Amino acid sequence: MVTTPRVGVLALQGDVREHAALLADLGAEVVLVRRPEELATVAGLVIPGGESTVIDKLSRIFGLQEPIRAAIADGMPVLGTCAGLIMISNELVDGIEGQQTFGGLDVRTRRNAFGRQTESFEAELHVPELGDAPVHAAFIRGPVVESVGRSAATLASLPDGRVVAVEQGSLLGISFHPEISGEPRFHQRFLDRVAARG
């Protein structure tokens, strides 16, 4: 019997609805996670784009920071997009004073590496792990991975070499917004990780 994966979208701030809709289209049962008891009911978590500083502060206010850190340490599959990539990075460059991340992903990430929202752009990316068809990626004030540690692997880079997608075990972090461009393959890869973990 095939079971429907029950996954969460961290719903403190950001483009929550778009992720939830894409996951539902892929057959997942989606829980909007705002409290530790909701996190405890899911087998995987998507951390959406938005403002990493706000997500950090609200995760502490709502008592989610430590439970999410524990879930990541325990191997829960997590997909972080844009601000979500920042939140799962072990090291953050140019964060505001006191800003914290959940950590887990062996990378150093820079916030707002592509400038202001008016400097948003789209690009076609080659991601061999997702097949031959290019990934249409929308970058909106996205971060960039400045260095990839030995535990993590690069999935995609821009033509100039800047790393914009990384993976480490059950963690997947990307600088752009597949939920906006309608690109389902990263979410499917995340759901495959959830299914493999049982």
DSSP string, 136-180: EEEESS--EEEEE-TT-EEEEE-TTS-EEEEEETTEEEESS-HHH
* 138 found inside a domain: yes
For the chain, the domain total comes to 1
Domain assignment present for residue 162? The answer is yes
Domain assignment present for 94: yes
Residue 136 is a catalytic residue? no
The rounded distance, in Å, linking the Cα atoms of 175 and 109 is: 10
Instruction: Tell me which of 18, 19, 167, 179 is the catalytic residue.
Output: 179
Q: Is the residue at 75 inside a domain?
A: yes
Confirm whether 107 is domain-assigned: yes
Query: Percent of the chain at pLDDT above 70?
Result: 96
Catalytic residue among 18, 19, 167, 177: 177
pLDDT-wise least confident of 43-47, 114-118, 119-123, 186-190: 114-118
pLDDT digits (tens, 9 = 90+) for 48-85: 999 999 999 999 999 999 999 999 999 999 999 999 99
Strands 163-168 and 171-174: antiparallel
Question: Using an 8 Å Cβ cutoff, are 181 and 163 in contact?
Answer: no
Which residue from 163, 160, 113, 162 is spatially nearest to 141, judged by alpha carbons?
Answer: 113
pLDDT at res. 17: 95
Query: Residue 1 falls within a domain, yes or no?
Result: no
pLDDT for 115 equals 67
Instruction: Note down the domain range covering 137.
Output: 6-197
Distance linking the first and last C-alpha atoms of the chain: 13
Q: Which of 82, 167, 183, 187 is flagged as catalytic?
A: 82
Is 179 a known active-site residue? yes
Residue 82 known to be catalytic: yes
165 DSSP β-pair partners: 156, 174
User: What CATH number is attached to the domain comprising 152?
Assistant: 3.40.50.880
Instruction: Kindly tell me if the per-residue pLDDT of 1 is higher than 60.
Output: no
Least confident of 3-7, 21-25, 117-121, 145-149: 117-121
